[in-house]
Amino acid sequence: MGRWVAEGTKVADENYRHFLTDKELTMDVIKIMAGQINGIKDKMKLMVIQKAMRRGQMKLLRLLEELDKKGEQMYMITFPFQLYDLMNIMKEEGVYLDMGRSNSVIITGGGWKIHEGMKISPSEMASMVKEYFGIEEENYRDVYGMSEMNGLALECEARYKHIPPWIYPMVLDENYEPLEYGEEGRFAFLDPAANSYPGFIITGDKAKLLESCPECGREGVVIDGEITRMRGAEAKGCGNLMRELMVESMR
């Protein structure tokens, strides 16, 4: 996911690109933010990290207010737990933006990871985006992807995630046997674009596939409904890494 985000930022001039951090990651903080906390020392570090994250969100909020005042279009690419946290801060601060008038867009991806307990549905997220950012629901989209997959599954307006045509997706049962369309199981895929590793990936995600989108009419396999973690799957990935990117910048 991070690779795709990095490539996407090259589209805009550097004067129009804004990042919460350009700091180098440290494995110590990544470990803590992934939930691996051992002893009082790590707990104290976590408290510092949480305060830093709050400062970072306030910094972002001030930037958004400035862009909104100027009527400038904004493309935000973030993680769902980060966006949800920001909107809760906006609620506390009484901040309501009108960024829909500039046709701004918000894209989330990376999943909720260890924040599954606060997870809300895509429709609820879209409703909150409209309330706090003034952005119409069709201009908020979620994507599904991972470092091992050379492509992203982007939501259509009906909230079905469309898998790139070169990816061969499947869902597997508990014995790792393929299931039919419409059945929920462990998501796996074949990726012919992989050239530095075998492109046969079994993930820790639970999903349901449909042969085509029943709403938008576009061709190709789609993911129907929410994607969740399989029981016992580790909470890891770019979503957890992103939290450290936020943290290091705001010390």
Q: Are strands 75-78 and 105-109 parallel, antiparallel or unpaired?
A: parallel
Q: Given CA atoms 112, 73, 88, 20 in this order, what sign does their dihedral have?
A: positive
- Can you give the residue range of the structural domain that contains 158? 2-249
- pTM here is 0.77
Please, are residues 182 and 210 in contact by the beta-carbon 8 Å criterion?
A: yes
Q: Report the alpha-carbon distance of residue 122 to residue 104 in Å, rounded.
A: 18
- For residue range 202-213, what is the model confidence (pLDDT) as tens digits? 999 999 999 999
Structure letter (DSSP) for residue 250? T
Q: In this predicted structure, what is the pLDDT of residue 224?
A: 96
Q: For residue 33, name the pLDDT band (cuts at 50, 70, 90).
A: low
pLDDT over 80 at 192, yes or no: yes
Query: What domain count does the chain have?
Result: 1
